[in-house]
Amino acid sequence: MSNKKLDGRVAILTGAGGGLGAEAARVLALHGAHVAIVDIDGAAAQRVAAEIEGQGGQALAVQCDVSVEAEVRNMVEAVVGRFGRVDILHNNAAVLSVEQRQRDRDVINMDVEAWDRAMAVNLRGAMLCSKYAIREMLKHGRGSVIFVTSGLGVQGDLSLSAYAASKAALIMLSRSVAAQYGKQGIRSNALQIGLAPAENAHGSMPAPLLDILRDNHLTPELGTPRQIADVVAFLASDESAFVTGTTLVADGGFGSHTPSLVAMKALFAQTGAKGM
């Protein structure tokens, strides 16, 4: 008999056709969960599901635009039809394509369609998936909902105003879910992630930008997708049974210090001989 910590659990992971969502799905499957790979790109979801099944796991690919209620309802029905229940919901889906980044700017230059799209996918999508997945969790009196947020949800920045606002709202949505359904066995937490580039993301980001971000981490290097996925697995499992209504930060210390830290270190290095 297996003693894997997610044995018999059924997990829905949105935006899992690639990147951090796909890695989370792989890790949850390694821990014994049956995983539903949900993505607006059906072919990408199929590839991840096939990979997991090829390694002996149980996976279902579902194409779904999480901003469309009917599609979300049908997605959850498909998962229950295949696996019989829902125990874990990882609200990971977000829109952050190159085109979206270019349009999601500072407020006076905001493309309002980009604003609306960010809210539709990042926030409305998480609400809709929670609405239908939690209904299934309540039938069994147990469940873990994980909302993916970002340092941009708590720290102001020069651009990505819509993305940041949606990520801030997810923190409160997570707390609302925890407050509303905690006594019925449902836990809800936000996971504030730092920069853990997946696949070819390192190549798509300018090296000087990566250097700045790396310098501002309190770890030797940037994060990896596996490091984020391991935290997802913790929040999904009974290891975190007493953790709910909070935001767990996995960002290599990026958000924990004053932004002047790196510049001050450089100054101290230059003036160290003078006693600073």
Q: What are the catalytic residues?
A: 163
* C-beta neighbour count of 202 within 10 angstroms: 11
Decide if 187 contacts 236 (C-beta within 8 A): no
Count of alpha carbons within 13 Å of 244, Cβ hemisphere only? Answer: 21
What is the C-alpha separation between 113 and 100, in angstroms, rounded? 10
DSSP label at residue 5: T
Separation of CA 72 from chain center: 18
Count of alpha carbons within 13 Å of 149, Cβ hemisphere only? Answer: 30
Decide if 61 contacts 35 (C-beta within 8 A): no
Decide if 61 contacts 75 (C-beta within 8 A): no
What is the C-alpha separation between 85 and 89, in angstroms, rounded? 11
> What H or E segment, with its residue span, contains residue 144?
strand 143-150
What is the C-alpha separation between 41 and 52, in angstroms, rounded? 17
